[in-house]
Amino acid sequence: MSQPSSICLLRTSAIGDVTHVVPLVRTLQEAWPGTELTWIVGKLERRLVGDLPGVKFLTFDKGAGFAGMRAVGAALRGQRFDALLQMQVALRSNMLSLFVKARQRIGYDHARAKDGHGLVINERIPARTGEHVLDALGSFCEPLGLRQTQVRWDIPIPDEAHAWAAGQLPGDQPTLLVSPTSSHVLRNWRPERYAAVMDHASARGWRVVLVGGPSPLERTMADAVLGACRRAPLDLTGKDTLKQLMAMLARAPMLLTPDSGPMHMGNTVGCKVLGLHAASNPDRSGPYSDRRWCVDKYDEASRKYFGKPASEIAWGSKIEKPGVMDLIGVDEVIDRFEACAAFLQLA
């Protein structure tokens, strides 16, 4: 295929999925440096990736409803792209894509499409199962005649964010960052279990730092964790920006978290992730580069709640059931912490 002059990418959310789009952007830029890339992205998510060089960003404010869609349409008025990569299947995103004029409209295969997705596209990515989300998003370049053969992020982190992180995490004491809250509440572990692992790390000489956003849910979880800790960690919940969190992740060797945006942010900068997986499959949505340090109870959860092994349920199934995260024990997470610390030679 000849080099397209313009491509529009549509993936507005969430934080983790937006990080998974960045390698696709790098693939397109390397193959076709002259192609103009426009990315329609969410308001919060733009704070993380909106300074990627060589990309024009359009912000979609989903909180504004249809007015937010019209604003995107107004910004695109008169533009026509060679290709649209429609990488989000939710009804709202399918509707939003109608404001994008493009000759080639690439979307998901039939199995992964829903909410009228097939009505707004005219071409599909290859039908595959067993893929990590990042690889599925990377395959959107295949109908264009490319293949994503390497994964590179290089999400910019400003010098001032690095300076802020150095002020919070001075010296060379090893740091365990703990981001305890997913917006999917049934993916969250018990506060007292986080506290037990944090106390263990602190007793082993690690600096322990609690992080999270400013939402009431995250503040409530942080307070519950703090209340259960015997050794008080540094609490930075609601005090950092996404770029400052990226800088801390780049500085800290280890992150403890459920399946959430910070898991994938940490992965992009090489922070080792102690991922907690029971409600979701780490092979599909865990830290892409290194899942050795995750606790994986997904198969056990499938057997308990669905009566069959994970290999017999649909790929990507969520097991977001009350109590599912209780399958993960404190000792199992401490074991992964110790194994990772030994690997990093920080034991």
User: Which of the four pLDDT bands, split at 50, 70 and 90, describes residue 2?
Assistant: confident
CA proximity to 301, closest of 285, 286, 323: 323
Q: What's the rounded mean pLDDT across residues 181-202? A: 97
CA distance 138 to 281: 19
Please provide the average confidence, as pLDDT, over all residues in the chain: 97
Q: At residue 40, what is the residue type? A: I
Q: What's the rounded mean pLDDT across residues 280-300? A: 97
CA proximity to 214, closest of 241, 238, 235, 244: 238
Q: What's the rounded mean pLDDT across residues 98-112? A: 97
Is 78 within 8 Å of 3 (Cβ atoms)?
no
pTM > 0.95: yes
Residue 347 clears pLDDT 80, i.e. is over it: no
CA proximity to 8, closest of 128, 118, 88, 126: 88
Q: Is 102 helix (H, G, I), strand (E, B) or coil?
A: strand
In the chain, the percentage of residues whose pLDDT exceeds 70 is 99
- Structural domains of the chain in order of their starting residue, each with its CATH number: 6-144 (3.40.50.2000), 163-343 (3.40.50.2000)
Residue 168 clears pLDDT 70, i.e. is over it: yes
Is 264 within 8 Å of 188 (Cβ atoms)?
no
CA distance 143 to 156: 29
Residue 117 clears pLDDT 90, i.e. is over it: yes
Q: For residue range 48-65, what is the model confidence (pLDDT) as tens digits? A: 999 999 999 999 999 999
Is 268 within 8 Å of 250 (Cβ atoms)?
no
CA distance 267 to 249: 9
Amino acid 235: pLDDT: 98
Q: For residue range 198-228, what is the model confidence (pLDDT) as tens digits? A: 999 999 999 999 999 999 999 999 999 999 9
Residue 108 clears pLDDT 70, i.e. is over it: yes
Residue 1 clears pLDDT 90, i.e. is over it: no
Q: What's the rounded mean pLDDT across residues 315-330? A: 97
Q: For residue range 139-166, what is the model confidence (pLDDT) as tens digits? A: 999 999 999 999 999 999 999 999 999 9
